[in-house]
Amino acid sequence: MPAPDSTPLLEIEDLKIAFQRYRQEPVLAVKGIDLQLLRGESLAIVGESGSGKSVTALSLARLLPEPQTKITAKTLRVNGHDVLNMNERALRRMRGKEIAYVFQEPSSSLNPVLTIRTQMAEALRLHRPDVTNLDEEIIQWLYKVGIVEPEKRLRAYPHELSGGMQQRVMIAMALCCQPQLLIADEPTTALDVTIQKQIIDLLADLRTSLGMSIVLITHNFAIIRNIADKVAVMFRGQIVESGSTEEVLANPQHPYTKALIACVPKLGVQQDKLQTIDYAAVEAAL
C-alpha cells in the first residue's frame, strides 16, 4: 500500500503583499506571514475587515491584479507548485482544478445570463474532460450540496434561486472539479443566521466526505469550531496568533484574539452592552 501523502498542501513563508499607488508609497497589506496546511487539514483565517485575509487567499492562485500588486515570499507553494514562478497557462490549469474559491457574493462567481447547467458544464469541460454525462454529473453535485429536485434546477438562471440556494450552487460549481483546496471567503456573511449554519455544516460534511482541505475566511469566531482544525488570527497584515482551533478558542493569548472571541454573543447569556475592541491594548501587544 502506498504511504499516505504527507507533503504540505500549503507552504507559506514570509508572504508580503503590496499595492502600488500612483505617485505614493505602496501600501503593505500583508506584512510577512507564515502558514502551513497539510492535505485534508482545514484552516480558518479570522480577523476584522481590512486585516488582509482576502488578499492573502487571492495571492495563493495569483488572482490579484498584476503588476499593481507585488507579491513576494520566501516560499509560496500550493499543492507542490511554486506559485510565484508559474506562467499564466499553468496558473489557469491550477485554478479550479487544484484550488477553488467560493466568495461571499454569488454575483462574483455566477453569471446572471447563463443557466446553472451552462456554467457548471463549462467548468467540467475545462477541468474534468473524463466526465461523459455532464447532466448526470451536475445533478449529482447539486444534490450533494442539498438542492432539492436538482434536475429541475439545471436550467434555472441564478436570479430564480434564493440567496442560500445560489450559495449552494457556487459551492457545487467549486467542488465539481474536485479541488484539493477550497477557499471559502466569508461564504455566509450575506445570508441569514439559519442558512449560515446550514452552509457551514454542509462545508464541514463535504470536507469529510471528499477529503479536501478548506481555508475558511471569516471575521466571525462563532462559526469556525466545527470546520477548522487550525486558526490563524490576522490583524493589520500580520498573523498575531495561530494554533489548533480548540486551543485558541479555549486559551487565547493575544489581546486581539481575546477581544474577537469576547465579541461572539453567547447563547443564554445576557449582555448589557456590545463588546468593543481595545485597540490600544492590541497595538501594545504587537
Ligand X SMILES: Nc1ncnc2c1ncn2[C@@H]1O[C@H](COP(=O)(O)OP(=O)(O)OP(=O)(O)O)[C@@H](O)[C@H]1O
Q: Which residues contribute to the site for ligand X (CB under 6 A)?
A: 19, 27, 29, 47, 49-55, 65, 219
- The nearer residue to ligand X, 55 or 282, going by C-beta atoms, is 55
Q: Determine the residue type at 88.
A: E
Angle between helices 134-144 and 163-175 (to 10 degrees): 120
- The nearer residue to ligand X, 42 or 54, going by C-beta atoms, is 54
Q: How far is the CB of 243 from ligand X (least distance, A)?
A: 20
- The CA-based dihedral angle spanning residues 286, 44, 20, 76, taken in that order and rounded to the nearest 10 degrees: 100
| Rounded distance between C-alpha atoms, residue 161 and residue 119, angstroms | 15
- The nearer residue to ligand X, 19 or 157, going by C-beta atoms, is 19
- The nearer residue to ligand X, 29 or 73, going by C-beta atoms, is 29
How many other C-beta atoms are found inside a 10 Å radius of the C-beta of residue 152?
11
Q: How far is the CB of 67 from ligand X (least distance, A)?
A: 12
Whether the CB-CB separation of 53 and 217 falls below 8 Å is answered with: yes
Q: How far is the CB of 29 from ligand X (least distance, A)?
A: 3
Q: How far is the CB of 186 from ligand X (least distance, A)?
A: 6
22-28: Cβ within 8 A, 24+ apart: 26/70, 28/237
- The nearer residue to ligand X, 52 or 150, going by C-beta atoms, is 52
- The nearer residue to ligand X, 103 or 141, going by C-beta atoms, is 103
| Rounded distance between C-alpha atoms, residue 140 and residue 176, angstroms | 9
Q: How far is the CB of 222 from ligand X (least distance, A)?
A: 15
Q: How far is the CB of 27 from ligand X (least distance, A)?
A: 5
Angle between helices 163-175 and 116-127 (to 10 degrees): 20
Q: Give the chain's length.
A: 286
